[in-house]
Amino acid sequence: EVQLVESGGGLVQPGGSLRLSCAASGFTFSNFAMSWVRQAPGRGLEWVSVMSGSATNTYYRESVKGRFTISRDNSKSTLYLQMKSLRAEDTAVYYCAKSLDIVVASAMSPWGQGTLVTVSS
Amino acid sequence: DIQMTQSPSSLSASVGDRVTITCQASQDISNYLNWYQQKPGKAPKLLIYDASNLETGVPSRFSGSGSETEFTFTITSLQPEDIGTYYCQQYNDLPWTFGQGTKVEIK
């Protein structure tokens, strides 16, 4: 069974940093692109970033470029999201999600349970 | 960015009813359109990919159709466990974008 378990969320002050992790199991991790998607409280879904299976291709939404860094350790089947210079508008539940296919551009399934990041003083 | 507009934003229907949600893209996205279900307090779940393909394990009462800019998601016979919010999502162009969601309730 494919499982994704996020961790690392918490309360952080504006301007602070946080690193999220997503531990994967049940599939050959290096064969699939992985994404981060966030959801602000009471709001809709917002795609954040995606990384190819080999880590050669990465993409970000404009509002997080230069502040967030996606990475992966295929030997540990783990995806990361390093977040710095955090802002109040980054407050959200962050989900990691597996690409349905080997290519970066595909549907996302399944998703992890999410980890809450709260940016507040 | 490609804008995805869903309608309606919410609906209330009876068990057994046919439910239809539409999603309009601001530009041609071919068939690069997915549908997700999010139950309260849970992570989203993929139901339909590439506009009309049913994800493995998803009940056949769910279906999708459309191409280019107009897409439709249908539940042929609404069940109590189908309550939640449904989102369309395009991946034709970065950034991938979602519709604002359609909240489905039981009447």
B78-91 pLDDT, tens digit each? 999 999 999 999 99
With beta carbons under 8 A apart, name residues in chain B contacting A59: 94-95
A74-120 pLDDT, tens digit each? 999 999 999 999 999 999 999 999 999 888 889 999 999 999 999 99
Residues in chain B: 107
* Least confident residue range of A99-103, B9-13, B31-35: A99-103
How far is Cα A21 from Cα A81, in angstroms, rounded to an integer? 7
- Which among A46, A108, A113 is the nearest to B46, CB-wise? A108
Closest among B85, B5, B33, B24 to A105, alpha carbons compared: B33
**A110 and chain B in contact, CB less than 8 A:** yes
pLDDT value at position A102?
Answer: 80
Question: Does pLDDT of B31 surpass 90?
Answer: yes
**From the candidates A108, A113, A116, which should be mutated to test the interface with B, based on the most B CB atoms within 10 A?**
A108
- Which among A44, A50, A110 is the nearest to B87, CB-wise? A44
Mean pLDDT of the region A9-17: 98
Distance (Å) of CA B94 to CA A93, B30, B37: 21, 14, 22
